[in-house]
Structure 1
């Protein structure tokens, strides 16, 4: 039989031969290298009988001579196809130029690389290396614990332990091959096995040893496994002990988790024997926290007294320190009278008397409570869970430029506004901000600029005048930062101001801080990551000289710096911080967003209506804007909410009275 000879590297793909000679699907021929030829059963054309005399549409097997003839014909057809010009190729996907070496062209699939990933490769390597460790093959490091040797491979140990990686990297040549480790042999053996097998068994009996050893050897994967184990086991009886252990190991993740668990379950934790054994430092870390989860402050007082009585001789002198962190003004009057004042430990301590006086005055003099604000008069967050977060519209000017003293609140999804105590001021162009859940209205102008400050106490639904700041001003801005209130810039009737004053609600006092880099009126202010940003405003002698500057104040350094300016100057704009992004809403409905990490501004989608000289705030994790001027002649009476993901604004409610130059803040209040 005649054979078909090809070059070793040949790859050929033939087209089907002519139907006149061999039928519809006569023969497909593929050869690769020196692989043997394949044979196929073929169909005979239905039009005629073939040369063998067989009936049509019957399957037959090609004889050796037929195959030889067929092979010769196919090769002739292929060779003839080499003379075709590239210009005659109409379909590039099926007809390609043929390589000059006589090989068939490769399809895109054949040309693409084959990428292989062996799923079990890493496990196999670890298994083999573990076998080498056990048999001592290629071992280049001996660890010694309790005078016992543990052979291993440097590359494996250094890959899982930063401690060993640093030690071996810095070790002298003569100690490169042996290392003494101050860990028990059993625990070190378990950790070395983990390095080779990625498996370790953690139990109640070995958890402390394994966590301590993994922290010491800087084996982060084992440390994480230990923390996960402890999180599953934590309960009110052991959480304070686990925190103490975590502190000794400097395991930050476990410290934070144990602290959070104790705060959340404080009522149960305070009833355990372990709680009575904690240090004063730990006690203060719990009872001073806003996140302490208690239904009422009487539980905190009871826990403190129990802790003191557990070792009264040594701890009674610490009672005043602990009691300063109990919010006695919020304790029920009857409990204060019948329990706290009659307690022998309290009566025998002169340092506790001022704290009792503060609580009694706060409860008896309701009209003076705004003047007695301190950290002890602020409800804990767990109390706030019992109240509602509401949006409050404060005052403003109506279409006739007349002061509106009304205050309304909105509690969505209820879209109708409800009344609060009316504002008592007579001036306009004031500024509104919140600190410690109280609303503050500062400055303004009637016949002249003023320096009055009024505070709204949500629990009492009253406005109360507090200490005035030193420099009268209007068209200024104000903002709460930490536990302080800042008033910034403005106008005194003659000049624009660069002065900045800070209010401390605890002491009801004002102090001046470093002035701005430029005097401004009608700026907007916002806080982000502990800094104060003053944006835009009017900054020159001309009332129309609008600026685009961004000034940033750092309270810790008492200093100002200039940042990337707004893309367009703005006066009377409003600003808010939503998830670390500063949004400025200005003229012509435009909105710009500032990324402090990139120091860049970006134009966002416009609001539905104009809100110049309106107000914005963040409420329940969303950005809201209300009121303001739409153009020069119309007041926008809508409240809009912003969707940060889709960059869209939606009207959600209508103000009871359309206003501008108003306040718009979010606070917690019992509205039941």
Structure 2
């Protein structure tokens, strides 16, 4: 019996191997027929430029219902069939795909390939095109992807974009395109249990930003969107302060508050969502904390400090032995990138990456121009090095951009030369703020990567240099010294206006660092009389005041970032 079973299994295995061998042999022969143009039974005449593309009806019919219907239709028996709505190069590549399952996609041709694949009903080619586009979103641009969605009205395209929006919701919600989402699209995102946010306040902030863009037209939709929030994940104080005050949301706030405070009544409360989203809550791997580059007073080396939110304390994470004074830094993925700075008292072209989990350094391609006191920022995966000072203390107007594929390339220069300025990305644009051209500035410039151009924005209320900036809740916050005193200004990019908000108490001049964490603006730097340490404060925008946290030991604050806690454990 056992022997019979083994023989049956061996026979099945041999049969499967024979079938696989047969299929490979068959496909190899079909490829040969195509390469040699043997047994061709149809030729396509394609325009722009005019070309003749031979093929086999049987193969194309098996690959696509478009060709199956074409050959069974009125034109099916013609020896030469004209195709007028697809360029010849694109058409020939997709015919090759029907035989091989492969095609050469580039950033330049993928949009045309996608549209043609949809017309020819090549579902696999359409999927591969969209996967390529979404994996090259920096080069293809989000605007281009949304344009393809509108033009093609293809369900597969819509699904791929929706998946990207779910995974990258935090970034998407800060862009201009997000402000023009229709309510159905936004509702669909907010309903998703897989929405990639760190806490429910992130989703609330996104709704608020979208709503404030056109209050009168969107008022009627507000309660519909708020109902998509996991309201039971807020505390009662947040519900009463933020949700109950929204027109039409009073009942939602009441039900959620009751659900939280009176567990015995939960069976009587009809709430749409009562559980947290997937991955949000205690132990969430996407939870973030503050990571700061800092040098304690009298210490010889800079280090990275990690903030412990539960205990309101800071702890040393690692010593940064290769830290370069006057370099600029950004956080990208799981690396701190340090760009330029001082090299033997001269500006540097250096580009160093420090991997946070592994605590290891790596050299990356140098900039084209040596810089110090410059600004760096990331936008759509690209890194910008802006202005600064060069050799012999010359002031730099140039701007260069780094991508892994092309290295460093110059883009449009600044309108005004400047160093010691602040830079931040928001809504798909880069903002450079204040600084000095040997005279302290209050001017602001905005870079649009689509047009490769800088334009002036509204000027700050006061001149400022050596400032720290952060994008927070759709606004830009500037923390620095205005006329010798510490103060904070807030920029509204939609209205192009600046507002001065509650100032920081500080008796000594210093450089600040600020970051957005847990839907709050944090700033670090300075001290007041009788304080033996460096101040850490959180801005409360409800009552326009700063809440003090525990002091840091006195030292120099270089940079501060909101980093995933999972990187630091």
Length-normalised TM-score, structure 2: 0.48
CA radius of gyration, larger in: 1
Question: Which structure has greater strand proportion?
Answer: 2
TM-score between the two structures when normalised by the length of structure 1? 0.41
